[in-house]
Every structure is written in structure tokens, then in C-alpha cells.
Amino acid sequence: MNKARKKFVLLSELSVILLLALLLTAINVISFTRAADEADMMTERIARMNGSLDTPGQTPQDMSPPNENNPDAAQDGVVGQKTKNDRSGKAFRLNNGRFGYMGPNSPEMNSSLRYFTYSIDKDGNVEKIAFRMSAISEEDAENWALSLQYGKTGWTNDSYRYRVYEVNKKTYVTVIDQSRELWPCYRILIISIIGGAVMIIISFVAFQFLGRKLFKPLEDADRKQKQFIAKLENEFKMPLTVISADTETLERQSGSNDQIKSIDKQVRRMTRLVNDLGALSIFDESENKTKLDISDLMTAMLENSRPKFEEKNLKLSFQIEPGISVCISDNAFKKVLGELISNSLKFSVSDAGFTLARHKDRVKLIQTNDTKLPDGGCDQIFDRFTMLENAEGTSGAGLGLSNVKDIVRANDGRLSAAVKDGRMTISIFL
């Protein structure tokens, strides 16, 4: 039950992390691409004015489709297509298909823009077209222009956006400083990271709380069921003992008869059932586990049960890898192996085998025997009160192997059972 709760918390938490990551990534991707688009609008505006906003005679307000105004720029595909026109600004469709908005060409805006443009001719002569920067020197600007001349548009030195275009057979490089425009984007990024982390922590706490709330009734029910079984078991013990004593008395007083024999048989049957039920309630996750050398214990238990196999004319064989230890309680392992032994005594026709070996980082415990059962999986033998037909000398209530399942599961193990080519195999991985 504890495990189910942990699983619930983990899965919920994972889905929250996934959703948050998707959402925050999307917000940040959008915010940064918008910033890039806006920067591109600015460089485009500069490009239309042949590299300098101070160039007289050309005002962006009059800017019409570029092929009329600036054939060179149009050839290079620098500028976009006008889609909408109003008094204060222009919406443009950029070459990459996204829409941008070109703000009004106010003198304030132009003067606050930090940028430079250099032209480079075929011989590599660099000429300054415009320089309005204070953070970098003209010399640096020249070097940037030279290093960027084969690009197209993009970011350079973190927060500078550049555009390369051609005017009058010369390569123009315009670089604008966008650090002020990028700052809101970084702020969103930082808020996303911190906010995301806080959300993850809050949701984790919330899920822990919710999990406890949700699973409490289930855990209570589980505990009550175990208590109920334990109580039931105890309540059955005394009457069973008394009935068997009375039956014995009756038998001595009036001699044995079929009815008395039947009562005796039924009492023995119920006694076995009660003992098996007891095992159900004993083994839960809280059982104290120790590092147990199961190789020795298994050899001892199998050697000790050899007479029982010989009694039924069954051949018992086992291969046990020495020195294998498993973290399991002593009682639990004895119960598991004891049930496997009694199972093989019940189902074997002529021989039974046990194997214990290391398997990767786990331990593999396998019991096989020949059987008359048809081929196929038979995991249902692990279900409570299920008895397979054809079991020789059926006895018991079908609780034994279900106890094994409970123990193996409680110890994080796996188990399966199958019949193939007349051999039944029960595999347990611990």
C-alpha cells in the first residue's frame, strides 16, 4: 500500500514536471523568437535606408514595396512584403513567413537606437556607413563587420543582432545593440526557472499530502483486513481444538464410526486452513529483514525433506550455487521454500528439481517437476483458494502458493509459473 502511494506521488509529479517544462519552454521560445523578429525589423529598416538612418531623402513612412524603392535590396531578398498600412506603423510579413510590426519612424526612436553599418567591397576595403555605439570602439566594429560578412542574419556577442545585405555591389553589415530589448526575455527566462522550481516543490508537497489523504482509507482497509484475518484465525483455533477433543472423547465412548471419522477429517482440514490463513497475516512489508545466506538454508531444508520425496518414490535433485545471500526475513524464506517443496510433492509424477543461482543482480530460484497438466501458463495457482485439478492427493486450501506470491511481492521480487512439454516450472526472482 505504501508502494502504491509512492507510485501515485511519483507519477503525478512527473506529469506536472512534464507539463511545466512544455509550457515554460514554449513561453521562452516565443519570447526569444519575437525579440529576434523585432530586431530583424529594425535591421531591415536600416537596410532599406541603405545602412544609415541619417541618410536624407528616404523616410520609412514612405516605404513602399522594396522593388520600387530599392531594387538591390529586393534582389537579395532582404526585405519583406507590405501587408498593412496605417498612420503610426506598418505590419510586415518577413521573408521567413512570420509577421512583424514596424513601429513609427519617430526621431526619438531613431536616435535611441544603437547601431553601426560598415560596407565591404570586393577587394576587402571596409568603409564606415554609420556608427552610433558607445559600448564598443570603431575598431572592434570593423572587425565584427569583417567576421560577419558571409552570414545573413543572426545574433552575435549575446545581444547584438546583425544583418548582411548588398547595396551597389557592396556587402553591407549592420549590427544593432538589442541588450535593452532582450532584457525582458531574460527576465521571463529567470522567472520561468525559479517559478518552475517553486511549482515543482509545491506540487510535490501537495501530492504527498493528497496521497496520504487519498490512500489513508485504503491503508486503513488493508490493515483492518489483516487484523480481521488474524482475529478470525485466533477465534477459529480454540473451537477447532475443542471439537477435536470432543470427537476423540466420543470415539472412545461409543467406538469409531463413519460420522466421527468424517468430523475428524473435516477438523484436520480446517486446522490446515487456519494455519495457512495465519501465514497470510504474518508476512507483510514490516517483517524485519536480514541478510540471509539462503544457499545453506535451502540445502538444509531440501536435505531434510528428502525422506518425504523418497516416500512418494519421487526423485529429488537440486543445484545450489553456494554463498548466495538475500535480504529477506528468515521466516519468509522458509515459508516460500516450504511451499515450493510441498507443491512439488503434490504435483510431481516422478521427479522434482530445484535450482538456485545468481541472475544478473538478482537471485533466481526455480522449481521444476514433471506433471500431467496440459501446456500453458498457470499463474492462477498463485491466486487465493485456487487448486489445480489433477493434483495428486489434493490437500490444503489453495493458500500456500498465494502466500508465496505475497511474500515475494513484499520483497520486491517477481514470480511466474508455466507448464511446457509436460514439465511444470515455477520461477522466482528475488
Partner 1 sequence: MKILIAEQDRDFSSAFSTLLGMEQHTVTTVYDGTQVITRLETNHTFDIAVVDEALPRINADKLLKPLFDRNIPVIVLTSEKLTASRLMDTALANAYLTLPFLPSDLTGTIERVMKRKNSTDILRFEDVYIKLSEYMLCGSIPLTDGEIELFADLISHKQVSGKHMEAYISALNSKLEKLNKNIRIKYLIDEGYRMVKIQNE
Q: Residue 370's beta-bridge partner residues?
A: 423
Give the shortest CB-8-to-partner 1 separation in angstroms: 33
Nearest distance in Å: CB 308, partner 1: 9
Q: How far is the CB of 13 from partner 1 (least distance, A)?
A: 39
For partner 1, the closer of residues 39 and 277 by Cβ is 277
Q: How far is the CB of 241 from partner 1 (least distance, A)?
A: 5
**Nearer to partner 1 (CB atom), residue 322 or residue 376:** 322
Query: Based on CB atoms, which residue is closest to partner 1, 331 or 355?
Result: 331
At residue 344, φ and ψ (nearest 5 deg) are -70, -30
Cβ 237 to partner 1 shortest distance, Å: 4
Give the whole-angstrom CA distance, residue 112 versus residue 94: 24
Cβ-contact 118, 127 below 8 angstroms: yes
User: Closest CB to partner 1 among 307 and 393?
Assistant: 307
- By beta-carbon proximity to partner 1, the closer residue of 95 and 281 is 281
Pairwise CA distance, residues 343 & 354, whole Å:
12
Cell of 274: 487456519
Please identify, using beta-carbon distances, which residue of 268 and 372 lies nearer to partner 1.
268
In the complex with partner 1, which residue's Cβ is closer, 237 or 384? Answer: 237
Please choose, from the candidates 168, 139, 174, 140, the residue with its C-alpha nearest in 3D space to the C-alpha of residue 52. Answer: 174
Please, what is the minimum distance in Å from the beta carbon of residue 407 to partner 1? 15
Minimum distance, C-beta of residue 240 to partner 1, in the bound complex (Å): 4
- Least separation in angstroms between CB 420 and partner 1: 32
Whether 425 and 368 have beta carbons less than 8 Å apart is answered as yes
Is 132 or 334 the residue whose CB approaches partner 1 more closely? 334
CB of 333 to partner 1, least distance (A): 11
Cβ-based nearer residue to partner 1, 241 or 416: 241
Query: Residue 131, Cβ neighbours under 10 Å: how many?
Result: 16
Residue 134 or 288 with smaller CB distance to partner 1: 288
Burial zone of 281 (CB within 10 Å; 0-12 exposed, 13-18 middle, 19+ buried): middle
Q: How far is the CB of 322 from partner 1 (least distance, A)?
A: 9
Q: Which is nearer to partner 1, 76 or 296 (CB)?
A: 296
Task: Measure the CA–CA gap between 188 and 402, rounded to whole angstroms.
Answer: 57
In angstroms, what is the minimal distance from the CB of 320 to partner 1? 10
Phi, psi (rounded to 5 degrees) for 379: -65, -15
Judged by the rule CB under 8 A, the positions of this chain that interact with partner 1 are: 234, 236-242, 244-246, 248-249, 252-253, 268, 271, 274-275, 278, 282, 296, 299-300, 303-304, 307, 330-331, 334
